[in-house]
Amino acid sequence: MSEADPYLWLEDVSGEAALAWVRERNAETVDALTGAPGFKVLEQEMREVLDDDGRIPHVVRRGGHLYNFWQDADHVRGLWRRTTLEEYRTERPHWEVLLDLDALAGAEDEKWAWAGSRVLAPEHRRALVLLSRDGADACVVREFDLTTLEFVEDGFTLPEAKTRIGWIDDDSVWLGTDFGPGSMSSSGYPLQVRRWRRGTPPQDAELVYEGRPSDLSASAWHDDTPGFARDFVHRQIDFWNQELFLLPEDPAAPPVRIDVPDDASASVHREWLTVSVKSPWLGHPAGSLLAFELDPFLAGERRAEVLFTPDERTALAGYSWTRHHLILGTRADVSSAMELLTPGPDGWSRAPLPGVPPLSTASVTCTDPDVGDEYFHLVTGFLQPSTLHRGTAGESGTERVKQGPALFDTAGLCVRQHFATSADGTRVPYFVVGPEDRPGPGPTLLYGYGGFEVSMVPQYSAVTGRAWLARGGTYVVAGIRGGREYGPAWHRAALGADRVRAYEDFAAVARDLIARDITTPAQLGIEGGSNGGLLMGAMLTREPELFGAVVAHVPLLDMLRFHKLLAGASWIAEYGDPDDPADRPHLERISPYHRVAADGPAYPPLLLLTSTRDDRVHPGHARKMAARLREFGHPVLFHEHLGGGHAGATDHRQTAFNEALVHTFLWERLTPRA
């Protein structure tokens, strides 16, 4: 059907005709929503919570400083800055500004957005700064001097590309970028790993490793741990399969493959190799976390220390090393727990890390594993503002260093967890946040994702609290298959031709909400982005009678052409290959763009949001869907920011406007005025 697609012209991202169509649709949406009662007030409230200076400034430890990137009302594009631990402990720390992106954008007349940094250890005197034009994944690279706070003239500098770069030493870096034909994968990521030396052209950088043309990407990094310095190459075969290599000291010797299953995730800390397995291996079930002594492992020994074994309710959430310990995060029915594991001569010991309330999420945000046992960890929940703790692994107790502000009134609200039964009998968890004693159904917003091992967990959102809960709405988060709420099997249950399981799970949650008298179809709105936007399109075209309104952000919607658009080929391992006769039938069945019908049940109103600068999920998905729905007379509004990238916005002003559009659209349609 795609060969006869009448809307292919809308895939021309910056084409004159396509952008003229975008401007017309934007004007219609602005006219329909921004004049609604309370829109401007809501937009201002969203800006207030996003800019609130009481937000926790999350940090990364680099030597004696804690680094942070910060945006607020006075710094729209943001500040890269640092402080000391002593200052950070205070209510209002003094920050040393390293780079002012607003000033840089003004001086260079470019809409720079922060894309991260790579700081050279252990002296932390130099950094590689990554800058994105208006939120795109592609970025430019510039070397920055952290002593003079200036860009380094004739330093490591690269033009815009989807670059992978990292320090080796003062005068060399690992580099993957666009070197011309054959150097990038069909998904747009580097396939070559080169050692680039200071003062030489990047084109002359030494080629050390090259992935196959069918691979997703290749990259390298230097482990600068004192006493354990070494270099690794990572080959990403597809989204879910990979290989890790250790580069020998002899440059003429071939890379040494670390022999773990391709679908496992492996990492090295000092003398330890940790392996998170997604399939049964060495007698251990999928979802286990194993540890090996690296040198014996490379010599062929396979004696594993079992750090975690899953059960039907509990899954690995993640782990982080400090110098001498490993902090293990798990989830039981999507609620967090944490443990401290310590290797010793008689095996590993373990002890719980307390302070994680029920129905909440805890995660480690920062460690400095080369230096010491300091860690920062964050605890959050739907109605509990985030709290940042600092501790030292191996010592009792933690200090609360930051407490996020309470930005909406939680009086009379409660959090409950329920389980819906999907079409095949699977028990699907979901959280309900809303009025404790509402008599009868009310406006409800259901959020989901269902893919790429992304878990939907409890977390504090001042935007949702102020824009939805404070107005009397109920908010629901569904942990459907395709995520990792219950480990690798939960994800694999919705891969490829089984994608419909995620959609059946989401529909089951919707029906359970209705059966519990929490809401009605007319009062039930749904929202999702990216792969969650595909979920929204599936619900719109498969179960339209269940919902009163639908919102999809930066969505995938044309599942017969997604692999030809920008980074889309990288997702074949998740969805299937439209060019493979074995996969095409199920992709056609789940493709919302191709399921749109002129007759049949009426579709609920849809709001589509995307970005011209999204170079991950092509804006053509949302554009074409809007055009087809309009052609068939279905209710749809469309808005496309010219900037914003895959996040849909690069600053708080854009985000506040988007959120005001979304919540005005939902509230107007789920609570119609008499």
Model confidence at 674: pLDDT above 60 = no
User: Can you tell me the mean pLDDT for 78-91?
Assistant: 98
Contact 6, 21 (CB under 8 A): no
For residue 190, give the nearest of 126, 157, 241, 233 by alpha carbon: 233
> What is the per-residue pLDDT across 468-480, written as a single tens digit (0 to 9) for each?
999 999 999 999 9
User: Residue 247 has which token pair?
Assistant: 């580069």
pLDDT for 46-79, tens place per residue?
Answer: 999 999 999 999 999 999 999 999 999 999 999 9
φ/ψ bin of 409: left (φ > 0), alpha (ψ from -120 to 50), beta (otherwise): beta
Calpha distance 213→184 (Å, rounded):
8
Domain boundaries, the chain: 2-48+407-670, 262-310, 311-404
Single out the residue of 121, 73, 124 nearest to residue 98, CA to CA. Answer: 124
Higher-confidence residue of 443 and 4: namely: 443
Average pLDDT score over the chain: 96
Question: Coil, strand or helix: which one is 484?
Answer: coil
Tokens of 639: 């808005």
Could you report the per-residue pLDDT of 557-569, keeping only the tens digit for each? 999 999 999 999 9
User: pLDDT at position 642, please?
Assistant: 87
The predicted pLDDT at position 368 comes to 93
Burial class (CB in 10 A: 0-12, 13-18, 19+), 260: buried
Average pLDDT over residues 560-579: 98
Least confident of 2-16, 54-68, 620-634: 2-16
- Chain position carrying tokens 């310590």: 342
Taking only Cα atoms into account, the Rg of the chain, rounded to an integer number of angstroms, comes to 25
Residue 4: what pLDDT? 85
Maximum Cα–Cα distance for the chain, whole Å? Answer: 78
pTM of the complete model: 0.96
Give the 3-state secondary structure of residue 545: helix
Q: Is 25 helix (H, G, I), strand (E, B) or coil?
A: helix
Beta strands in 278-384 (DSSP E): 289-293, 305-308, 314-321, 326-332, 335-344, 347-353, 361-367, 374-380
Q: What is the pLDDT of residues 520-545, one digit of tens each?
A: 999 999 999 999 999 999 999 999 99
Confidence tier at 354 by pLDDT (50, 70, 90): confident
pLDDT of residue 1: 39
Its CATH class, for the domain covering 2-48+407-670, is alpha beta
pLDDT tens-digit profile of 396-423? 889 999 999 999 999 999 999 999 999 9
- For the annotated catalytic residues, the residue numbers are 530, 646
**Residue 170 and residue 570: Cα distance in Å, rounded?**
33
Count the Cβ atoms, other than its own, within 10 Å of residue 173: 25
